[in-house]
């Protein structure tokens, strides 16, 4: 399946969020890796190429905005989707700094998958037409 060539990084300090993403995305044959903070995220991005990163805004050690700025310098090709529990100035600033999209927790799985498709340039209408 085509998804097995897509690497997605999930960055959140909440284990339940990371596990939910892993379960859903691995069931759809994506390659999924996780990190718990910005520092670990940067280390992983230096080691491995990712297509998409879901990045929590509020994390210990290095917040999502600080992490995004570094990601954009070292791996600008990665589509970064910011996640937050409550929209605030950090989320707005992240969008100005080049975040692909923002998603607010809790969110529906369908919404998450639609954002992934959009980040990968997949148009559902094109898929329907070719089936």
State the CATH number of the domain containing residue 73: 3.40.50.2300
Whole-prediction pTM value?
Answer: 0.88
- 131 within domain boundaries: no
Please name which of 67, 128, 72 lies closest in space to residue 100, comparing C-alpha atoms. 72
Residue 124: pLDDT band (50, 70, 90) is low
Q: Which domain holds residue 83?
A: 2-125
Is residue 3 a contact partner of residue 30, using CB atoms and an 8 Å limit? yes
End-to-end CA distance of the chain: 15
- 107 within domain boundaries: yes
Q: Which residues on neighbouring strands pair with residue 103, listed in sequence order?
A: 83
Residue 87: pLDDT band (50, 70, 90) is low
- 110 within domain boundaries: yes
3-state secondary structure of 53: strand
Tens digit of each residue's pLDDT (9 = 90 or more) over 22-81: 999 999 999 999 999 999 999 999 999 999 999 999 888 899 999 999 999 999 999 999
- pLDDT, position 55: 96
- 91 within domain boundaries: yes
User: 130 pLDDT exceeds 50?
Assistant: no
- 24 within domain boundaries: yes
- 57 within domain boundaries: yes
Please name which of 36, 63, 41, 66 lies closest in space to residue 52, comparing C-alpha atoms. 41
Instruction: Give me the number of domains the chain comprises.
Output: 1
- 130 within domain boundaries: no
- 81 within domain boundaries: yes
- pLDDT, position 127: 41
CA 90 to centroid of chain Cα atoms? 16
């Amino acid at each position: 399946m085509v998804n097995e060539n897509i690497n997605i990084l999930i960055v959140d300090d909440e284990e339940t969020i990371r596990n939910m993403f892993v379960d859903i995305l691995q069931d759809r044959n994506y390659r999924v890796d996780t990190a718990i903070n910005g520092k670990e995220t940067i280390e992983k991005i230096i080691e491995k190429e990712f297509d998409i990163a879901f990045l929590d805004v509020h994390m210990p050690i290095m917040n999502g905005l600080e992490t995004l700025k570094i990601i954009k310098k070292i791996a600008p090709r990665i589509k970064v989707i910011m996640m937050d529990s409550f929209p605030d100035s950090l989320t707005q600033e992240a969008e100005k700094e080049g975040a692909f999209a923002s998603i607010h927790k809790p969110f529906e799985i369908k919404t998450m998958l639609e954002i992934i498709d959009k980040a990968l340039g997949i148009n559902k209408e094109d898929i329907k037409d070719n089936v």
